[in-house]
């Protein structure tokens, strides 16, 4: 009766004890630095990616004098969108984008989605007015394809997901009806679990799974006498032969993948451009860092500028956001343990492929609006655009590979071979794929081969996370490291933003203490 009159406080306390009332996670706010607290303090920031620009933005607000050195001729780093005329330059190749000039025709070679709870980066989107829209991860109209099951044919997502639910429910109902779980459940709970399971799987009245409208129709319900004819359920034994259930079916429930997922309208680099509007005046582009030195006054950064001349930048502090693989190649004065820790981090050499299609065949022929199809072939995924619906043309992501064994082999091919493989494999999901993609617009990116990246994102082994990672969280003298690699959100822009916040706070605290 805690809910009765006068019981509101009691209810509240009970709920707190149950962990239900935990206040909704507060947005991840940047540190609030006292105005002018950074006046007279210089900071050299290496890299104009999201970590570097976040740090510059926050420090600059408090009066710090920041300079950002950026190796490339644009800001954003991996927060990057390719459109007509843009180049992808790997170590040994250069591709120029030949998509039509249209705001919906773009390719995000790097990050392409933002979970709703990544409030660090979402706060900046809000503050800077970056329009967002929903990006679909889970689309029941997309496909799974696996060479080892269903004869290698693509199978509709909604059939796989809902027939699986049906079979799981049927098996559990059988066990319950056979009293196999009577030790586990009270009689009342058992009855409720059985009811739950029936609805979970949409079981027939005899507790078997004989198909469900959830899995779709061969003839959909329509007008007049068309009441619809449901798909026959997929065979459980075929489902078990597939790899769909190992993780692909559950992917959309992941903490960082579950709805609502968001994307900037018109490409991920809208975020980079928004930051650039704030701190672009602090960025020196085409500035390739060569050395990072400690000096009696702080740091000296030696770099080559756009003309190829060597330059030096002195500052009280440095924030180095370069990927660790790049940092490992610089001349530095890091302590040996620090240097070893930098070398201990692995990187994911992700690969993506994209094609412009002159017809949105996935919408017209397959009723696919956004989302992802999965395959056990090298390309792993096809991504359909979640914006520009019903436009004539669209850009399809024809591969997204993050298993280094697969992506390294894929990226080792010529550009032409990559596209050829992507098309051959895409054909296994959509038989008309090869005829539909505009091959001359095909582009690929192997993140391990981008000279200023040398990888897509950091991957810490459990051991390195224990031993090496903590060393890099502390500054080596006046030099602080920041970036997604210094977070538990590696591979996510949020990791970069939150890491930058921490370094900003650490420098501010140090300044305040002196």
The residues in 248-277 that bind a second copy, with binding defined as CB under 8 A, are 249-250, 253-255, 258-260, 262
Q: Are 272 and 78 in contact (CB under 8 A)?
A: no
**Binder among 307, 390, 440, 462 for a second copy (CB under 8 A):** 390
> Is 237 near a second copy (CB under 8 A)?
yes
The CB-of-287 to a second copy minimum distance in angstroms stands at 26
> Is 218 near a second copy (CB under 8 A)?
yes
Interacting positions 14-73 with a second copy (CB under 8 A): 14-15, 18-22, 24-25, 27-28
Between 71 and 155, CB nearer to a second copy: 155
Which stretch in 57-65, 66-74, 91-99, 197-205 sits in contact with a second copy by CB under 8 A? 197-205
Q: Looking at residue 468, what DSSP letter applies?
A: H
> Is 452 near a second copy (CB under 8 A)?
no
Judge if the upstream peptide bond of residue 341 is cis by omega within 30 degrees of 0: no
Binding mask 490-509 for a second copy (x = CB under 8 A): -----x--xx-xx-------
Between 165 and 325, CB nearer to a second copy: 165
Between CA 353 and CA 398 the distance in angstroms is 5
Token output for 202: 């949409």
The CB-of-462 to a second copy minimum distance in angstroms stands at 11
Q: Are 262 and 122 in contact (CB under 8 A)?
A: yes
CA 262 to chain centre: 11
Between CA 294 and CA 139 the distance in angstroms is 52
The CB-of-277 to a second copy minimum distance in angstroms stands at 17
Count of CB atoms situated within 10 Å of the CB of 291: 14
> Is 424 near a second copy (CB under 8 A)?
no
Residue 471: name the closest of 298, 327, 292, 337 by CA: 337
The CB-of-502 to a second copy minimum distance in angstroms stands at 5
The CB-of-202 to a second copy minimum distance in angstroms stands at 8
Euclidean distance between the first and final Cα of the chain, in Å? Answer: 58
> Is 367 near a second copy (CB under 8 A)?
yes
The CB-of-303 to a second copy minimum distance in angstroms stands at 26
Between 174 and 277, CB nearer to a second copy: 174
Count of CB atoms situated within 10 Å of the CB of 33: 21
Which stretch in 95-103, 119-127, 325-333, 436-444 sits in contact with a second copy by CB under 8 A? 119-127
Which stretch in 184-192, 271-279, 289-297, 417-425 sits in contact with a second copy by CB under 8 A? 184-192
Between 151 and 296, CB nearer to a second copy: 151
Between 2 and 35, CB nearer to a second copy: 2
Residue 267: name the closest of 459, 397, 137 by CA: 397
Between 249 and 292, CB nearer to a second copy: 249
> Is 155 near a second copy (CB under 8 A)?
yes
| DSSP strand pairing (132-135 vs 261-264) | antiparallel
CA 232-237-238 angle, 5° bins:
70
Between CA 289 and CA 264 the distance in angstroms is 30
Token output for 3: 């809910």
Burial 37-52 (b: 16+ CB within 10 A, else e): ebeebbbbbbbbbbbb
Residue 379: name the closest of 433, 452, 451 by CA: 433
The CB-of-426 to a second copy minimum distance in angstroms stands at 16
> Is 178 near a second copy (CB under 8 A)?
yes
């Amino acid at each position: 009766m805690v809910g009765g009159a006068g019981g509101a406080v009691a209810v509240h306390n009970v709920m707190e004890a149950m962990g239900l009332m935990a206040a909704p996670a507060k947005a991840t706010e940047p540190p609030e630095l006292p105005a002018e607290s950074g006046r007279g303090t210089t900071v050299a920031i290496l890299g104009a990616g999201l970590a570097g620009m976040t740090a510059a933005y926050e420090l600059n607000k408090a009066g710090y004098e920041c300079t950002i050195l950026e190796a490339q001729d644009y800001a954003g780093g991996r927060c990057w969108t390719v459109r007509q005329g843009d180049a992808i330059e790997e170590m040994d190749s250069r591709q120029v984008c030949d998509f039509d000039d249209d705001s919906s025709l773009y390719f995000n070679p790097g990050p392409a989605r933002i979970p709703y709870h990544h409030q660090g980066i979402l706060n900046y989107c809000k503050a800077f007015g970056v329009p967002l829209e929903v990006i679909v991860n889970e689309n029941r109209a997309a496909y799974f394809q696996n060479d080892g099951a269903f004869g290698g044919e693509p199978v509709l997502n909604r059939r796989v997901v809902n027939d699986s639910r049906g079979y799981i429910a049927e098996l559990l109902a059988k066990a319950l009806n056979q009293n196999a779980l009577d030790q586990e459940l009270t009689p009342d709970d058992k009855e409720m679990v059985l009811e739950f399971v029936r609805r979970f799987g949409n079981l027939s009245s005899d507790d078997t799974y004989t198909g469900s409208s959830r899995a779709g129709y061969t003839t959909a319900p329509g007008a007049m006498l068309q009441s619809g004819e449901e798909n026959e359920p997929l065979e459980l034994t075929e489902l078990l032969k597939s790899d769909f259930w190992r993780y692909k079916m559950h992917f959309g429930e992941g903490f960082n993948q579950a709805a609502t997922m968001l994307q900037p309208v018109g490409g991920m680099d809208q975020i980079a451009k928004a930051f650039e509007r704030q701190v672009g005046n602090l960025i020196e582009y085409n500035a390739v860092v060569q050395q990072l030195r400690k000096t009696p006054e702080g740091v000296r950064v030696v770099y080559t500028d756009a003309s190829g001349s060597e330059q030096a930048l002195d500052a009280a502090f440095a924030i180095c956001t370069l990927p660790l693989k790049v940092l490992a190649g610089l001349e530095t004065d890091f302590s040996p343990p620090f240097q070893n820790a930098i070398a201990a981090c692995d990187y994911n050499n992700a690969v993506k492929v994209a094609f412009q299609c002159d017809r949105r065949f996935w919408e017209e022929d397959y009723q696919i609006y956004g989302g992802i199809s999965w395959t056990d072939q090298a390309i792993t995924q096809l991504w359909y655009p979640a914006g520009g619906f019903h436009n004539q043309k669209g850009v399809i992501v024809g591969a997204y590979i993050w298993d280094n064994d697969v992506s390294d082999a894929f990226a080792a091919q010529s550009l032409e071979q990559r596209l050829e493989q992507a098309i051959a494999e895409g054909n296994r999901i959509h038989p008309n794929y090869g005829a539909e993609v505009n091959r001359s617009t095909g582009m690929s990116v192997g993140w391990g081969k981008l000279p200023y990246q040398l990888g897509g994102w950091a991957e810490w082994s459990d051991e390195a996370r224990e031993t090496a990672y903590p060393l890099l969280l502390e500054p080596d003298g006046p030099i602080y490291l920041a970036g997604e690699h210094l977070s538990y959100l590696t591979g996510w822009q949020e990791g970069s933003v939150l890491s930058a916040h921490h370094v900003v706070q650490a420098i501010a605290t140090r300044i305040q203490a002196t």
